[in-house]
């Protein structure tokens, strides 16, 4: 024998190989997570807009039968997105008010019932809140607060 000893075959990965794999996974996560969060926000916002338009259609049907919007009630009241969610699972809350006096609901005895205003308030500061009215006003603003007058908001 010439003095060469056989070394045992190495099994597993070196520390360098593991670190390279970890860096690659971290890069993918840094790109994918914010992208997914943005997608999820847009999806929920789209659901809120769709619900608002559906309620607006129901309001017009109500007016065609009753000649005003008085006593129109959404079920549930207020409408929440996603439907049936409670507590911290609620992403949007949609409320309906008298268009002439947004302090009153359409069921209030002091409401005129000649117009309506609807607000979808986001529970996520990074998402948009929306306003839609029977007079054609439709606006949005990033954050959890928006006024029925749409001050500082953009049209949608």
Q: Return the pLDDT at 12.
A: 81
Range(s) of the domain holding residue 141: 47-155
Q: What is the pTM of this model?
A: 0.80
Report yes or no on 148 lying in a domain. Answer: yes
Residue 8, domain member (yes or no): no
Q: Is residue 99 part of a domain?
A: yes
- Rounded Cα distance between 119 and 131, Å, is 5
25 lies in a domain?
no
- How many domains does the structure of the chain reveal? 1
- Tell me: pLDDT of 87 over 60: yes
| DSSP at 84 | T
Average pLDDT rounded to a whole number, residues 70-75 = 93
Q: Assess if residue 39 is contained within a domain.
A: no
Please choose, from the candidates 17, 129, 122, 115, the residue with its C-alpha nearest in 3D space to the C-alpha of residue 70.
115
Q: Is 13 among the domain residues?
A: no
Residue 130 lies in a domain: yes
Distance between CA atoms of residues 74 and 55, nearest Å:
8
pLDDT digits (tens, 9 = 90+) for 2-39: 666 766 777 788 999 999 999 999 999 999 999 999 99
Q: What is the pLDDT of residue 53?
A: 97
Question: Does residue 100 lie within any of the structural domains?
Answer: yes
């Amino acid at each position: 024998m010439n003095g060469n000893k056989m070394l045992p075959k190495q099994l597993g990965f070196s520390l360098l190989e593991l670190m390279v794999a970890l860096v690659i996974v971290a890069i993918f996560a840094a790109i994918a997570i914010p992208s997914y969060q943005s997608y999820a926000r847009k999806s929920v916002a789209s659901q809120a807009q769709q619900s608002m338009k559906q309620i607006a259609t129901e309001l017009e049907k109500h007016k065609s039968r009753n000649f005003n919007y008085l006593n129109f009630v959404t079920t549930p009241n207020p409408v929440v997105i996603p439907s049936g969610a409670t507590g911290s699972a609620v992403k949007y809350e949609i409320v309906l008010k008298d268009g002439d006096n947004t302090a009153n609901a359409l069921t209030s005895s002091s409401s005129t019932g000649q117009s309506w205003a609807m607000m979808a308030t986001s529970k996520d500061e990074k998402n948009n809140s929306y306003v839609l009215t029977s007079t054609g006003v439709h606006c949005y603003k990033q954050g959890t607060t928006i006024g029925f007058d749409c001050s500082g908001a953009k049209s949608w």
